[in-house]
Amino acid sequence: MRIDLTGRVALVTGSSAGIGRAIATSLARAGANIVVNGRDEGRVTAVAQELGGLGIAADVATAEGAERLVAELPRVDILVNNTGAFPARPVFEIDDAEWRELFEINVLSGIRLTRHYAQEMAARGWGRVVFISSEAGVQPPTNMVHYGTTKTAQLAVARGYAQALAGTGVTVNSVLAGPTLSDGVLAMWDDIYPGLSREEQEGRFIEDGRVAGSLIGRLIRPEEVAHLVTYLASDYSSATTGRALGVDGGLVPTILP
């Protein structure tokens, strides 16, 4: 199987680092005209230059940022809603403001862009929308209940858009990523396991965290998430829509997502 995305414009939000960067790299290698997005203009520009694509610095967690991005990028064939945050916090310490902020980042960012770009994809008769969700959306972590809730919401949003776009040639799917060795995870480890080396942090995370139930016994690598996204962005996935597909190492103990 050779995936060829030549001529397709692919926007990956939150792609200046971590999983988003791996996805942008994979799509670019498949021939897509990649658009890198993030909040830090310097990082966005550097990654875009590295991948031979376009960089647009905009905070899509805000309505103003999403509007600015759309104004600069009128057409998208492949939209990967990857922007997200995953803070750890005891559930009784999460106030209203933090709940709202996480919904803006993890849920509304993807809604804003899908609402705009998917209609234009449908008018052209082809398009791909992928929401980067998480296995936390089907088994919320106790110390990240607000995060898990937003990921559950993403699954409903993606399914709803898939139903609304039925028969248009546009597919909408979610990817249930497991704990992944990304920049964000490394930053979280520094918060919950301060003073430990990276090897010690990973060991503690595997012992104490949600990787304990993984069938592969390790964290997912960003490129492994990117491989699934690249497939979903291709013509090969034309009969797959409205689904949540796992790349979690078998962490979720079920035969269905």
**Residues with a known catalytic role:** 147
**Six-digit token pair at 211?**
């990787």
**Six-digit token pair at 65?**
């940022």
The set of residues, in sequence order, having a beta carbon less than 8 Å from that of 76 and lying 6+ positions away, is: 9, 10, 11, 35, 117, 120, 121, 127
Angle at 103 between CA 97 and CA 104, to 5 degrees: 90
Residue 242, Ramachandran bin (φ over 0: left; ψ between -120 and 50: alpha; else beta): left
Give the H/E segment covering residue 38.
Answer: strand 33-38
d(CA 246, CA 231): 13
How buried is 29 (Cβ within 10 angstroms: 0-12 exposed, 13-18 middle, 19+ buried)?
A: middle
